[in-house]
Amino acid sequence: MTMGKEKLIPIFAMIVLFVGIGSTVYVQASQSNSDTIKVYNQEYTIEELFSIADKRTITTDDGEKTGIALDDIITKTSSVCTTCNQYTFKAKDGYQQTVPWGYMQKGILTEESRVLFPDTAHSFWVRYIIEIEVNSK
């Protein structure tokens, strides 16, 4: 009976290893390799966004951070009712966070494609932004 267990343990270990490898390959394949950010269904490079939006410096618990104003990005790239909507930030890794207009008026997008908001939990900060989606309330 012990011989059976000794043969099964390596088989189970190999199955776990292959599942881990498969998961890693899937995640890497499904992540976007785009250098653009989609804002209200339009594609922009980070450089284009920095050329059209105003710069803003905010103070976070990590110190002062500088980027472009999120509210300015929305007002200059779309003609939506800004206060009528919520905004979802989507990251390359699938993480997303939705915020109201009040957060947009204080937040920034950094050159590293990171969204930061002062006086909020770090769970609201999103790295590697690929899209800013406008959602009706």
Q: What is the pLDDT of residues 18-68, one digit of tens each?
A: 888 888 777 665 554 458 999 988 999 999 999 999 999 999 998 999 999
Task: Tell me the CA end-to-end span of the chain in Å, nearest whole number.
Answer: 63
- φ/ψ region of 91 (left if φ > 0, alpha if ψ in -120 to 50, else beta) reads beta
Which helix (H) or strand (E) segment holds residue 77: the answer is: helix 70-77
pTM of the predicted model as reported, rounded to 2 decimal places: 0.72
Structure confidence at residue 119 as a pLDDT band (50, 70, 90):
confident
